[in-house]
Amino acid sequence: MAEVDTLRDKLLYPTIPVGFLDDVFQAAYARDLDVEAILAANGLSLAVLKEPGLRVSVDKYAEVLRQLGNQTQDAFLGFFSKPVPLKAYNVFCYSLVGCRTLEELIQQANDFYALFTDEFYWQYRQEKSEIIIQVHITPVLDVDYRFIVHSLQLMCIRLFAWILGETVELNSVDFTFSKNATDENLTYLLGDHINYDCDENLIRINSRFGKARLSCTRDQIEPVLHNSRRLFLVTHNRHPVSQQVRRLLLANKYEEWLGGDEVAEQLGITPNLLWRKLKKEGNSFLDIRDDIKRDWALVLLEDPANTVEMVADQLRYSDVSAFRKAFKKWTGLQPVQYRALLG
């Protein structure tokens, strides 16, 4: 039962494009750190990072970040001139106690991290209908800073939403960097209204959030620290129906793949209403089911004891060729090619 629960937990949230790890390692490459050792410890390789169709679980992604942080002894993984202590984020969160508004939260963030570096800060400004939060970064390495940019954007907006106790929908997000093959995950985290190749790194939200009053206490901070992985790596409140569908499909994955009508019945709604709700979240029933099959296949193929035929049967494909075709569509590779990259 414990093994079943572990697999369910691995599949509960969509996997992350492996290219996101390449973004994480940008400073490590420039500083000649032992990236290969960290990858090998997690069943990965440099060759895997160059395959845009491959993906890693949220748990594995978080573990790689943890190990890189331990190697660099830097919360920002070597992207800035001086390391920021690994525990700085915990102390920062507690320093938010007493903040009453989003503007105060951002000012506190600037005051706190200025103790360690002057190479980034957030700027808050309010216009007539929008609040704009801009991330300013002074690069010290000739590498891509997209990982740091979107991490700093997520940090403030997710902490604010957590303390406020309300989902904060973003009107739009502007990035100075260009779009690449892995940025579907940014859409998952930040929403559909993302603009690339812009002059500034900005988040825009409704002006009403400037008037929202916070009541930040230590009791509110404790769960933030225990759930930091979910805070930065997964989206929970933005896609509630999609997440419900994923949970129901996972609960029945060893018996049969539920159909859309069956899932709608279990949710107590009509199939047509389920379709509309998923469409509003930018999703579809078949896409969710395919995502689970893809993520489950990646997990199963990591175990050399599972043959490709066994994986196809576990996922209930009618024949192994149908599974190979699906896997090629998901990752750009055949299952045997994926296994070869894992070593």
List, for residues 270-306, the tens digit of each pLDDT value.
999 999 999 988 889 999 999 999 999 998 998 889 9
Measured between alpha carbons, how far is 178 from 160 in angstroms, rounded to an integer?
27
DSSP state of 204: E
Mean pLDDT along residues 173-193: 88
The tens digit of pLDDT for each residue in 30-57 reads: 999 999 999 999 988 898 888 888 888 8
What would the mean pLDDT of 159-174 be, rounded to a whole number? 88
**Per-residue confidence at 255, pLDDT binned at 50, 70, 90?**
confident
Per-residue tokens: 259? 């159909």
For residues 3 and 280, the answer to whether their CB atoms sit within 8 Å is: no
> 42 near 60, Cβ under 8 Å?
yes
pLDDT in tens, 215-250: 877 877 777 676 665 556 766 566 789 889 998 998
What integer pLDDT is reported at residue 88 of this predicted model? 93
97 Rama class: left (phi>0) / alpha (psi -120 to 50) / beta: beta
The residues spanned by each domain of the chain are 2-233, 240-342
Q: Which residue has the higher pLDDT, 7 or 111?
A: 111
Q: How far apart are CA 56 and CA 20, in angstroms?
A: 9
Phi, psi angle pair for 123, to nearest 5°: -120, 130
pLDDT at 2: 42
- The model carries a pTM of 0.86
Q: What is the DSSP letter of 5?
A: H
Answer yes or no: is pLDDT of 11 > 90.
no
Task: State the CB neighbour count (10 A cutoff) for residue 75.
Answer: 18
3-state class percentages of the chain: helix first, strand second, coil last, to nearest 5:
55, 10, 35
Q: Which residue has the tokens 């409704």?
A: 206
Of the pLDDT bands very low, low, confident and very high (cuts 50, 70, 90), residue 1 is very low
- CATH code reported for the domain at 240-342: 1.10.10.60
**Structure tokens, 228:** 């930091």
Alpha-carbon span 319 to 314, nearest angstrom: 11
Q: How many CA atoms lie within 13 A of 264 on its CB side?
A: 15
Handedness of CA 146, 239, 225, 62 (dihedral sign): negative
Q: How many angstroms separate the CA atoms of 319 and 312, rounded? A: 7
